Amino acid sequence: MKRALPAIWLVVLLTIPLWLQDQYILHVLITTGIFIIAAMSLNLLLGYTGQLSLGHVAFFGIGAYTSALTTLGFDIELFGFRVVHQPWPAIAGLFVGMLVAGLSGYVIGRLSFKVRGAYFVIVTISFAEVTRLVALNWVELTQGPLALTNIPPYTLGFPGLGNYTLWNKAAYYYLVLALGLVAYVVISRLVGSRIGRAMIALKENETLATSVGIDVTRYLVLAAVLSAAMAGGAGSLYAHYLKIIDPDIFLFIYTVMMVIMVITGGKGTLAGPIVGGVIFGFLPVILRPFAAPAVQWILYGALMIVIVFMLPQGIIPALQHAIANWSGPTRDRSGALLAGSAKPGEGQ
């Protein structure tokens, strides 16, 4: 039963575009999926190495802008030199976006070696704000508040089948699902491995981790790079799906959204960001018929407070705990039964 569950989920997820008629719901599924990938990447840093990055949206935005600019091309003047970039295929943008986001993750990771805790949080917030200001003011490159528009969709080349451009929503849904699965598998393999154990050790007790020979900086930087590259990939998906991005993509509220998804779902669990992402991705859809936007935000905040207050560890750990408690007594009972049957034997 436990093995069948992921397969059932996969079948449900794979067939959604076939039976779902409402294009708006499909759109919400796609954007939610993109934000779940971003939340999963944040979870790698926050949930497993214990570093709270409140500038995570910077990596998402860097991925989005880099991918869009790689695809659209640019012609700018930099330090007196003219830099011209001819448009590349959109799918190359995805990889360049991940690469550049990963590099900025490296810089932030190295910085975090010097500053931890609250200072790291401040560094990351500042970093996100700087990237937003650059996107807003470097008009020649980013069009500033006018936004980058007409970002083309991805074109996937299948050997022997020709090229396929992702024009419709269903195709994007499958792409997001596929990349989401890749991200999930990458994170699950990582955290179950020697590398993941080093990260968890660093979160729980840094001094002890170094005393057994774990190079803390190395694993922190590794986590930051992987997390940033993943967030950059999600940003690229976002840019090419919406076909337009503006500097508002770097707003603090998006980071908060990712953090909320991770914390409500359960940080440091594989399914946490997915559960949290689905809840907060679909909440506006569910509330829309009943409540005005302002009321929606109030309910949104109230729900978050309730969840964090009632289940401080998050939904997934609370569920695991409940299941353990529920199956625990039966195990004890069988144990007691065994002990009971052993006693007469002892007497003889």
Partner 1 sequence: MTPTLGAAGDVVLSVAHVAVRFGGLVALSDLNFKVFDGEIVGLIGPNGAGKTTAFNVFTGFLQPAAGEVRYRNTLLNGLKPHDIAALGLVRTFQRTSIFACNTVFENVLIGLHRRGRSRLWDTLLALPREKVAEAELANAAREILRVVGLEGRAQDTAGTLPYGEQRLLGMALALAAKPSMLLLDEPVSGMNASESAKVMRLVQTIRASGVTILLVEHDMPMVMQVSDRIVVLNYGRIIAEGSPAVIQKDPDVIRAYLGEGKKRA
* CB closer to partner 1, 16 vs 195: 195
Question: Is residue 294 involved in binding partner 1 (CB under 8 A)?
Answer: no
Q: At what angle do helices 293-310 and 272-287 cross, to 10 degrees?
A: 150
Give min distance, CB of 339 to partner 1, in A: 16
Which residue from 214, 270, 278, 291 is in contact with partner 1, where contact means CB under 8 A? Answer: 214
Per the CB < 8 A criterion, the answer to whether 150 and 159 are in contact is no
Give min distance, CB of 58 to partner 1, in A: 24
Which residue from 150, 211, 341, 348 is in contact with partner 1, where contact means CB under 8 A? Answer: 211
Question: Is residue 210 involved in binding partner 1 (CB under 8 A)?
Answer: yes
Question: Is residue 103 involved in binding partner 1 (CB under 8 A)?
Answer: no
Q: Looking at 60-68, 100-108, 143-151, 182-190, which segment touches partner 1 (CB under 8 A)?
A: 182-190
Give min distance, CB of 190 to partner 1, in A: 6
Closest CA relative to residue 96, chosen from 71, 72, 76, 74: 71
CB-based burial of residue 332 (10 Å sphere; 0-12 exposed, 13-18 middle, 19+ buried)?
A: exposed
- DSSP letter string over 126-181? HHHHHHHHHHHH-HHHH-GGG-B--PPPPEEEETTTEEEE--SHHHHHHHHHHHHH
Question: Is residue 200 involved in binding partner 1 (CB under 8 A)?
Answer: yes
Per the CB < 8 A criterion, the answer to whether 76 and 141 are in contact is yes
Question: Is residue 189 involved in binding partner 1 (CB under 8 A)?
Answer: yes
* CB closer to partner 1, 31 vs 217: 217
Which residues sit at the interface with partner 1, rule CB under 8 A? 186, 189-190, 193-195, 197-198, 200-201, 204-205, 207-216, 222
